[in-house]
């Protein structure tokens, strides 16, 4: 969406949830926005909050961009006195395909300079995948790290089998071993996080602000995979995670350059411990002008600020 003030200052937000990422649909978001009309004041935005975290989030992002522009115009000298966030580049995790295909792919990505990898597991027999994991680890130079993502595919027994095997291996974390819908999943995940040394990461269990608050309330000791585009008021939720000194991996919800710019701005402003970004997803679109930043092992603020949401908007409308 494009938000424009009476003075012509514009900001952009993206509300485009994909199936499986949360409980919303892009059609619902569109219907809500069409019903809200062309003029959105803070009261309307708050009403939309209960209907859609993605729509509310997009409005917040667009507003925050507008405020940034207005502040820049009104106090141009201020920029020099503010401490800029660290400009050191962030590592980006490379995605590896499931199964044996990961072995060839990891060699290609290593050559490109990637050192953090995420491998999708839970798609084949456990014993076969455990052998493949060791084959993969054997290819990694020292200092490289492997994350596993089960996307909720395991049951309790399989999860324990994997975690026993991971215990003495350099696995950065195991993401979402159990489906959040499984009966007793939250308690079981909390128990596993205490029982095994490999950190567990929540992804599908964190589809919105309520989930973040619930897991913070439970004192989750593992990693939070945070997709800023799905959090509603992302700034507020990320501030809460920071206050709790949570371990966070920022991740893509497969946005266009509009949502990518907003989500990555949050990620790059994080002052807690840096974990490789889960944004190694582009190119995604047939027309490359809709993509987020170039797929590379490192990402800097300049790469994000170079994205032009207005160009994406103009190309789409
Ligand atoms: Mg995941």
pLDDT tens, position by position, 202-231: 999 999 999 999 999 999 999 999 999 999
Query: Distance (Å, rounded) from C-alpha 45 to C-alpha 68?
Result: 19
Work out the pLDDT band at 85, boundaries 50, 70, 90: low
Q: Would you say 166 and 196 are in contact if contact means Cβ atoms under 8 Å apart?
A: yes
Ranges 32-41, 232-241, 253-262, 282-291: which has the least confidence: 32-41
Joined together, the tokens standing for residue 229 give 């585009």
Taking 70 as the threshold, does the pLDDT of residue 76 lie above it?
no
Work out the pLDDT band at 87, boundaries 50, 70, 90: confident
Full-model pTM: 0.94
Whether 72 is catalytic: no
In sequence order, the 6+-apart residues with CB closer than 8 A to the CB of 261 are 12, 292, 304, 305, 307, 309
In sequence order, the 6+-apart residues with CB closer than 8 A to the CB of 239 are none
The better pLDDT of the pair 18, 41 is held by 18
Gap between the terminal Cα atoms of the chain: 10
Joined together, the tokens standing for residue 124 give 């084949």
- In the reported structure, the alpha carbon of residue 176 is separated from the centroid of ligand 1 by a whole-number distance in angstroms of 7
Residue from 199, 240, 259 nearest 223 by CA: 199
Query: Distance (Å, rounded) from C-alpha 315 to C-alpha 244?
Result: 41
Catalytic residue among 82, 118, 158, 227: 227
Percent of the chain with pLDDT over 90: 85
Whether 120 is catalytic: yes
- In the reported structure, the alpha carbon of residue 64 is separated from the centroid of ligand 1 by a whole-number distance in angstroms of 28
Work out the pLDDT band at 44, boundaries 50, 70, 90: confident
Work out the pLDDT band at 78, boundaries 50, 70, 90: low
Rounded to an integer, the average pLDDT of 86-108 is 95
What is the pLDDT at residue 42? 81
What is the pLDDT at residue 37? 86
pLDDT tens, position by position, 244-270: 999 999 999 999 999 999 999 999 999
Query: Distance (Å, rounded) from C-alpha 255 to C-alpha 244?
Result: 27
Distances (CA, A) of 276 to 90, 101, 139, 172: 7, 22, 19, 10
- In the reported structure, the alpha carbon of residue 4 is separated from the centroid of ligand 1 by a whole-number distance in angstroms of 35
Percent of the chain with pLDDT over 70: 97
Beta-carbon count within 10 A of 9 CB: 16
Long-range CB contact pairs, 69-76, < 8 A, 24+: 69/9, 69/10, 69/11, 70/5, 70/9, 73/9
pLDDT tens, position by position, 49-73: 888 999 999 999 999 999 999 998 8
What is the pLDDT at residue 105? 97
In DSSP notation, 113-175 reads T--EEEEE-SSS-HHHHHHHHHHHHHHSPTT-EEEEE-TTB--HHHHHHHHHHHTTS-EEEEE
Rounded to an integer, the average pLDDT of 71-95 is 76
- In the reported structure, the alpha carbon of residue 118 is separated from the centroid of ligand 1 by a whole-number distance in angstroms of 9
Taking 60 as the threshold, does the pLDDT of residue 127 lie above it?
yes
Catalytic residue among 100, 120, 158, 300: 120
- In the reported structure, the alpha carbon of residue 153 is separated from the centroid of ligand 1 by a whole-number distance in angstroms of 11
Dihedral of the CA atoms 218, 227, 299, 258 (nearest 10)? -150
Query: Distance (Å, rounded) from C-alpha 165 to C-alpha 145?
Result: 16
Beta-carbon count within 10 A of 301 CB: 18
User: What is the residue-averaged pLDDT of the chain?
Assistant: 94
Tokens 């170079």 locate to 306
Residue from 121, 70, 73, 116 nearest 93 by CA: 116
pLDDT tens, position by position, 132-174: 999 999 999 999 999 999 999 999 999 999 999 999 999 999 9
In sequence order, the 6+-apart residues with CB closer than 8 A to the CB of 147 are 93, 116, 117, 118, 119, 171, 172, 173, 174, 175, 201
Tokens 């219907």 locate to 31
Taking 60 as the threshold, does the pLDDT of residue 286 lie above it?
yes
User: C-alpha 73: how far from its chain's center?
Assistant: 31
């Amino acid at each position: 969406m494009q938000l424009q003030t009476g003075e012509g200052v514009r900001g952009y937000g993206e509300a485009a949830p994909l199936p499986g990422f949360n409980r919303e649909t892009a059609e619902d978001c569109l219907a809500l926005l069409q019903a809200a009309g062309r003029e959105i004041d803070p009261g309307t935005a708050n009403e939309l909050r209960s209907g859609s975290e993605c729509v509310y989030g997009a409005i917040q992002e667009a507003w925050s961009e507008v405020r940034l522009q207005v502040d820049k115009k009104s106090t141009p000298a201020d920029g020099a006195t503010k401490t800029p966030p660290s400009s050191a580049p962030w590592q980006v995790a490379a995605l590896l395909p499931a199964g044996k295909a990961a072995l060839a792919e990891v060699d290609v990505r290593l050559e490109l300079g990637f050192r953090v990898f995420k491998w999708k597991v839970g798609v084949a027999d456990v014993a076969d995948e455990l052998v493949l994991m060791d084959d993969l680890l054997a290819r990694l130079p020292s200092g490289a790290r492997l994350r596993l993502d089960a996307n909720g595919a395991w049951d309790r027994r399989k999860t324990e089998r994997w975690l026993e095997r991971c215990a003495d291996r350099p696995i950065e974390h195991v993401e979402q071993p159990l489906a959040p819908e499984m009966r007793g999943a939250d308690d079981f995940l909390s128990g596993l996080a205490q029982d095994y040394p490999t950190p567990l990461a929540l992804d599908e269990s964190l589809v919105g602000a309520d989930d973040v608050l619930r897991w913070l309330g439970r004192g989750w000791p593992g990693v939070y995979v945070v997709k800023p585009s799905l959090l509603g008021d992302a700034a507020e939720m990320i501030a809460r995670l920071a206050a709790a000194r949570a371990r966070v991996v920022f991740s893509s919800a497969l946005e266009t350059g509009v949502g990518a710019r907003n989500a990555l701005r949050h990620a790059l402003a994080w002052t807690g411990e840096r974990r490789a970004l889960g944004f190694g997803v582009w190119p995604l679109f047939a027309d490359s002008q809709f993509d987020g930043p170039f797929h590379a092992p490192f990402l800097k603020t300049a790469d994000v600020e170079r994205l032009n949401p207005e160009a994406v908007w103009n190309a789409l409308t």
